[in-house]
Amino acid sequence: MKSATVALSLLSLAGSALSAPYLLSDKIVGSDFYREFNFEAISDPTHGRVNYTDAATAMHQNLTFASHDTFILRSDFKTVLDPNGPGRNSARIRTNKAYSTHVAIFDVRHMPQGCGTWPAIWETDEASWPNGGEIDIVEGVNDVMPNAMTVHTGPNCTMPTTRLETGTPALNDCDTNANGNAGCGVHAPTLNSYGPDFNANGGGWYAVERTDNYIKIWFWPRNAKNVPIGVRLGSLIIDTTLWGIPTAYFPNTQCDLKSHFDANNIIINLTFCGDWAGNVYSQSTCPSTCVDYVNNNPAAFADAYFDFASLNIYKAA
């Protein structure tokens, strides 16, 4: 009996050793976002009805502001736009650092909502897109729920039809040249993962783990009872093997993730209309046309903002 107990203890220790815990690398809260991110005042690559501002303009117009435990990123919601002028002012920020194997945990209280909106939290290497890979952690348009989690790559990367995840897979070819760059996506199983329902529930936590063997994304609503303690508290050490089945799972069984992904920056942005929100606008219950609605209804975007409690980034121990 004693030898059996010792054997079980050794097995337990071996399992712990193989779990590859992660150590906190970057804790980003409040004004830290201004230090850890840069503002991309660029033309929108997705052709949205948006004008991405620089940091000074964003702060002057309160498109971004911070307190000790809050960072807000939003669009203008006061200006009627000239149809021949620039789009609605908003912000697009990108981390100064790029990450390979890592875990990122986003504690989000609120995300942008409204007809015409297209908010996203994602990772990519803009300079080598799509060959450096892209992971969309939070993305959606026109308040259509639930959240879509998607991987985009160069050619020869597909996902198995059946895999261990709580979400529902959509298309399985990650190649940007296939299916109109729809990517290999997974829809979250609950409506409160995105948009108005997410906000009404007080938000929640999104986490992404990227390794050479797999990419996993989890979502826990604010009131969920199974939020890992390390996620809830922003612990110094986390172990993702204790987190349960991910919401979305992208294994390397039919895709060499190591060759399809290089070091990626984290990007947070809010655009309007464009290649996705604009193209499917007529399929929603939203009024008018996307561009006309965005131009003429500034008050409709009072709730078009991100509220981040924190972003914690971990690297392998």
Residues with catalytic function:
134, 139
In the block, residue with structure tokens 């990227």: 210
Which residues lie below 8 Å from residue 6, measured CB to CB, with a gap of 6+? none
Contact between 125 and 115 (Cβ < 8 Å): no
Distance CA 189, CA 97 (A): 32
- What are the beta bridge partners of residue 141? none
> Strands, E, within 140-296: which ranges?
148-152, 168-169, 184-187, 204-210, 214-221, 237-238, 248-251, 265-272
- Rounded Cα–Cα distance for residues 196 and 281 (Å): 17
- Tokens (6 digits) for 245: 């089945």
Cα–Cα distance for residue pair 263/129, rounded to 1 Å? 11
Length of the chain: 317
- Cis check for the bond before 196: say yes or no (omega within 30 of 0): no
